[in-house]
Amino acid sequence: MNLNEVVYVGNVPKQATDVELGEFFKNVGRVIKVSFMRENRNDCRTKVAFVLFENEMQALKACSFDQTIFQWNRVIVMLVKDDRYFWAGHTVIVRNISSDTNEEDLFEAFGRYGMIEAVQIPTCNYAYVGFKEKSAAAAAQRLNNTVLGKTKISVQVSQRNMRVRLEDLDSFKTPRVYNELMDAKLKYDYNEFVSEPTSGNSAGAGPGPGTSAAPFAFDDYEDEEDNRIYDPTTNRFYDKPKDGRPAAKEQEPVYVEEIIDDDDDDGDLLIPPPIPWTRQNDDEVSIDLVSPQESPIAGRNLFDEDEPADDAEFSTVEVRRKEISFGKSAVVSTSNSAVRVENVPREVYDEDIVRYFAKFGLITSVEIAQSTSCIFSKVYTIIYQQKSVAERVLECFMRKCEFSGVVCTLFTLRPEDVIQDGQGRCVIVDYISNSTVFEDVADAFRKVGQVIYLKKTPRNTTASVVHFRHRISMNLAKKVVEIDGDKVRVVPFNQGFFRKLTAENRRLKDASTPHTKKPLKNVRMVDIEMKEEQERNKYMILKTVYNPNYRNPDPKNLSNEAMPKHLILRFVLY
């Protein structure tokens, strides 16, 4: 069974039947099977359903019914492998709600503070309200200790991300539902296989003896509808170019994320999609990840299942700040408009970085320092004139850019930000050399998941922590035994493992002791230092405008100062 053909439907009324839910999706296509969960739980007002469709295209079309009304309930419709979250800071938790309060009451009460993306009542006494903006969630706290319906409610902003999907479709966690859908799919495929030669004998004849009717009634939609592409961003369908007619030339599309399911119980493995590049006039390739982008599946051929997967699909995408859990370090920044930019290759000119970040707003100062965790990268501290500009830059935690032919992954943080280590999304690597760049680590864990950060100590005296965007399979991560030519050992994140690896690794002990002689420089480091020396000499030349009123303040000590021609200096003794 292909999980991309199954749709998760939340907030389904308990009195709804499978036939009624199949009738709700009749305009989408053929519904093979509907299975319910949470229908016998007394602490839940609603139940969830898993709907199996005939193909992936029909499942994608069904996602357009998200946040629509079904039997007076606003249902949540998404693919079973879609990891949608109520984001921390954007969501409020409403507690002590009355039994007669539904989603529409919450929409009406909280909609005055901002745009609401989703509302969910997991159990009878609390609910989640997700806003599009953080400011709206903060303003919604004004309803704290107010009366909604018959009770006084408590409203607080959520401090952690909460998954929208309440139940998973898994052969181990939910065997009943999984087996029901699997059996229905096998029976449907068998009946289609048996009825195929019968339907080809006579046109217009009824179904043969081996043919089974559709499990649910559905409208006989036209064939042209199958030749359209669904866009989840705009909830619209776009015509696919027909054979023989050239398609319009479009920009490089942004692909939606693809999830590959594994048999392990540690979670699903997410393979990230490629990044779109936009080349500018000054041969600088960059991406404004703060502005809206193209449709996630515009121009993609969703109908060719035999198309081989391209290795370029496993590249990096942007990571928003709201997806990361940050802590505070002991270092306190003196400016609230400061931004720390990490992982900038030393081959990149400083002028290119300043020009790129100056596009967001006016810059007050820029500080440049060599990275303490990698000899091939440097760190910038950029202070903007306005705090709002710095917040806009910080909205995207991880962005991929290209400067003068050098592709790099930039990280934008506050000077006091520290990424929190969490189990399931972090692994410990016993030793990563200071000459290993972030891209080498991300390439080593490419088949495990998307690496979003690498935490190393300045002198490489302790083990390193690799952070992933989503939960990963630890069994698959342990199979990584080499990074950039160095033999490594990978274990799940744990404070005990962290101390043990730090104490046992000989290379970490050698790094903590000072070397008597400097290590030999490789060819790349020699080229980088030569380039930096040329850049330093180039920008140390000061070009000034001739000023006839200028006088040497101390001719005795500043005797090498250049004198303009036809200028006579007269000294008067007093």
For residues 89 and 69, membership in a common domain is answered with no
Confidence of residue 346 (pLDDT cuts 50, 70, 90): confident
**Phi/psi of residue 234, nearest 5 degrees:** -105, -5
Strand partners of residue 130: 91, 118
Query: Is the CA virtual torsion 400, 406, 412, 416 positive or negative?
Result: positive
pLDDT surpassing 70 at residue 425: yes
pLDDT tens digits, 71-120: 888 888 888 887 788 888 889 999 888 877 888 788 888 888 888 888 88
- Cβ-count burial 349-371 (b if 16+ within 10 Å, e if not): eeebbeebbeebeebeeeeeeeb
Count the domains in the chain: 4
Structural domain includes residue 218: no
The answer as to whether 261 is a domain residue is no
Predicted local distance difference test score (pLDDT) of residue 280:
42
Residue 562 falls inside a structural domain: no
Q: Are residues 29 and 67 in the same domain?
A: yes
* Most trustworthy range by pLDDT among 182-191, 238-247, 315-324: 182-191
Residue range(s) defining the domain that contains residue 445: 420-511
Could you tell me the two tokens for 382? 């950029």
Distance in angstroms (rounded) separating the CA atoms of residues 291 and 171: 40
Verify that 336 and 408 share a domain, yes or no.
yes
Whether residues 330 and 414 fall in one domain? yes
User: What residue type is assigned to position 67 of the chain?
Assistant: Q
Average pLDDT for residues 484-511, to the nearest whole number? 70
In 71-206 the beta strands, taken as DSSP E runs, fall at 73-74, 76-79, 85-86, 91-95, 116-120, 126-131, 146-148, 151-157, 162-163
Same domain, 66 and 135: no
Q: What is the pLDDT of residues 151-163, one digit of tens each?
A: 888 898 988 888 8
Residues with Cβ within 8 Å of 93's Cβ and at least 6 positions away in sequence, in order, are 126, 127, 128, 155, 156, 157, 158
CATH number at residue 123: 3.30.70.330
pTM summary value: 0.40
Does a structural domain hold residue 554? no
Last residue of a domain, one of 398, 418, 438: 418
Residue 380 belongs to a domain: yes
Based on the domain organization, do 434 and 468 belong to the same domain?
A: yes
pLDDT at 92: 92
